[in-house]
Amino acid sequence: MLTKTGFLLALFSVSLCLKAQKAFEGRIVFDVEYVSFPEGMEGVEQSLPQQMTMIVKGQNVRISQQSILAGELLQIHRAGVDTIFQIFHFMDSHVLIAEPIDNKSVKYRVVEKDKEKIIAGIETHEMYLQSGTGQHFAAWVDKKYQNPMKYELRGLNYLPLEYSLVKNGIILKLTAREVKHEPIDLTYFILPDNIVRISGSDLQRIMN
């Protein structure tokens, strides 16, 4: 049985661990691997982004990808704002879709494993993530830093350097190839002017 003193020591240790985590600031370049596609979509990976660059300042995140089909795809999340902003080129215009985080967010149960491996020159630790919908995968994290993508990987506290996601039925794995610590200006997270705002339902109607 855990004594009162033991419980307090354990709680103190957890508190120290959380305080030791720092907010990440810099750039991470990920390679994108497409693990599986829904039936009928096989072979389209060459038209999809092969790399992703994530610019981070604490909980401010800007994700940039290049797609043969749509050109540059941007995703911006600003600290304290419960919305994901997606920006891309469509029908000769730059358009923006604002999507509430609740529509994207999946809560994961996280179990720490014993394995370690080096990714982009950094020692990472394995975490097992499982959602209530049955999705599960391994994530490899840098435990020195906080997870800047808590809006997308809810329940994971550490900076992921390798992880998997399911997007529109496509399973993809992202692995960091370069991690660069550098000062990041907040202007990276400002939405551009002269942009057309549309809703996701409007986009679906146009495309259909």
Q: Is the pLDDT of residue 168 over 90?
A: no
C-alpha to C-alpha distance for 58 and 147, rounded to whole angstroms: 9
Res. 121 pLDDT band, cuts 50 70 90:
very high
pTM: 0.82
Q: What is the mean pLDDT of residues 101-123?
A: 87
Higher per-residue pLDDT: 144 or 6 = 144
Domain boundaries, the chain: 19-207
Query: How does residue 194 score in pLDDT terms, banded at 50, 70 and 90?
Result: confident
Over the range 54-77, which residues count as b (16 or more CB within 10 Å of their CB) and which as e? Answer: bbbbebbbbbbbeeeeeeebbbbb
Distances in Å between the Cα of 177 and the Cα atoms of 16, 29, 40, 172, 193 are 30, 6, 30, 16, 32
pLDDT tens-place string over residues 33-50:
988 888 776 666 667 888
**Does residue 14 carry a pLDDT above 60?**
no
**Architecture of the 19-207 domain:** Clam (2.50)
**Residue 22 Cα to chain centre, angstroms:** 17
CB neighbours of 113 closer than 8 A, spacing ≥ 6? 125, 126, 127, 128, 138
Judged on CB neighbours under 10 Å (0-12, 13-18, 19+), 185 is exposed
> Residue 69's pLDDT is what?
63
The residues with which 110 forms a beta bridge, in sequence order, are 129
- Per the listing, tokens 């997270």 go with 189
Q: What are phi and psi of 10, to 5 degrees?
A: -65, -45
Q: State the number of CA atoms in the 13 A half-sphere of 20 facing the CB.
A: 9
| pLDDT tens per residue across span 177-193 | 999 999 999 999 998 88
Which residue from 31, 30, 44, 25 is spatially nearest to 169, judged by alpha carbons? 44
